[in-house]
Amino acid sequence: MSEPILHVLGALALELTPGSSAARDALPQREAGELGAAMARDLARFAPQAATLDLTTTGAHYDPVELLRPGWPVHRELDQLGARAPGGGSGGGRIIAFGSHDGRLPGALSPSPDYAGGPLRLVPWSLAGAGDVASEVGEACERDLMERGMAGADTALLAQEAFGLQVEHARYLTMHDLCALMAMQYEHAGLAPLWPVLETALLSPEREAWLDAPPEPLLRYAGQEARIALLTPAAWRARNAAANGDGKDMDDERLQRGFAHYEARQRQFAAVLRAHGVAVTFAHCQGDPAAEL
């Protein structure tokens, strides 16, 4: 029996100068191949056995929310397209880079214009090969890329010129590294309470997770869906009061202001989850909201 094929998933992270915007988000085939070859050389410097694995990438850059979705859909698309590429069975070491033709990328690889313009852009890559070798490469990447995964100067310059970006830093990260990076960014943005739910959806989508920490919205993730409790003003006040004693003596103005903030927070959480590909349902709760979600 042949050894199972394992995949090591990651991205070339391009940190842009403030106000930078891309001249284009997809490269034609020749330039995509040049960038893929440069990435393969870099990854082989970090983990020499990576040179024996198939590298699959695309000449395109994405926002983190497009890559950090349950099931890693962009990487899954890369792997599915790469599996159909000619030249397999030679023991690995191929570079498979998908570029655009007539301005269009194959399959479902086109970046969404809805998330263009962010300060961090990601070029996804996947290393695939025999289980034992890929496992060793994966362990090396998880151990070392975050600390010393800077891209080669030629690779950074190539990406900058090809995409028309102003790149401050270019480094390689695994998907787990990207999760850690997003957790820090969301903490700085005041979204830390939501991250454990999102992390569960990304890394353990079959599990259940709750956000039950007033005054934050009440949220349950289960069955690959997030359900957010819709409360009446009275129910919201009662829940807040039960948690910390606040809300019992609220006047109408404070109640209205606090409840409006709560509803805005619900919409914010729902928008972040949906951007990451997590289905969201708002549930009208009449009794005990925790029991009804």
* 27-57 tens-digit pLDDT: 999 999 999 999 999 999 999 999 999 999 9
Q: Which domain holds residue 16?
A: 5-188
pLDDT at 254: 76
d(CA 21, CA 44): 30
With H, G, I as helix, E, B as strand and everything else as coil, classify residue 72.
Answer: coil
Same domain, 175 and 196: no
Task: Extract the runs of DSSP E, i.e. beta strands, from 74-213.
Answer: 95-98, 120-130, 167-174, 209-211
Same domain, 196 and 159: no
Mean pLDDT of the chain: 90
Domain end call among 135, 158, 188: 188
pLDDT: is 258 or 182 the higher one? Answer: 182
d(CA 59, CA 78): 11
Domain end call among 161, 188, 215: 188
Same domain, 27 and 106: yes
Residue 204 pLDDT greater than 60, yes or no: yes
Q: Percent of the chain beyond pLDDT 90?
A: 73
Same domain, 221 and 129: no
What's this model's pTM, rounded to 2 decimal places? Answer: 0.91
Query: Rounded to the nearest 5 degrees, what angle is found at the Cα of 220, between the Cα atoms of 215 and 225?
Result: 135
- Total number of residues shown for the chain: 293
d(CA 202, CA 9): 14
Same domain, 34 and 171: yes
pLDDT at 243: 60
Same domain, 165 and 202: no
pLDDT at 251: 65
Domain end call among 123, 157, 188: 188
pLDDT at 242: 63
Same domain, 125 and 36: yes
189-202: average pLDDT: 97
With H, G, I as helix, E, B as strand and everything else as coil, classify residue 12.
Answer: strand
Using pLDDT thresholds of 50, 70 and 90, give the confidence band for residue 271: very high
Query: What is the residue-wise DSSP string for 229-247?
Result: EE--HHHHHHHHHHHHSTT
Residue 150 pLDDT greater than 60, yes or no: yes
16-22: average pLDDT: 83
Burial profile 189-218: b = 16 or more Cβ within 10 angstroms, e = fewer? eebebbbebbbbbbeeeeeebebeebeebb
Whether the Cβ atoms of residue 159 and residue 14 lie closer than 8 Å to each other? yes
CA 80 to chain centre: 19
With H, G, I as helix, E, B as strand and everything else as coil, classify residue 154.
Answer: helix
11-37: average pLDDT: 92
Residue 90 pLDDT greater than 60, yes or no: no
Same domain, 163 and 38: yes
Q: How many domains does the chain have?
A: 2
Using pLDDT thresholds of 50, 70 and 90, give the confidence band for residue 215: confident
d(CA 72, CA 122): 13
* Torsion angles phi and psi, residue 131, rounded to 5: -55, -45
State how far the alpha carbon of 88 is from the alpha carbons of 6, 54, 55, 96, 136, in Å: 15, 9, 12, 11, 21
pLDDT in tens, 219-256: 999 999 999 999 888 888 888 776 655 545 556 777 77
Same domain, 116 and 233: no
pLDDT in tens, 98-139: 999 988 999 999 999 999 989 999 999 999 998 899 999 999
Written as six digits, the tokens of 276 are 């990451």
Whether the Cβ atoms of residue 77 and residue 109 lie closer than 8 Å to each other? yes
Whether the Cβ atoms of residue 3 and residue 133 lie closer than 8 Å to each other? no
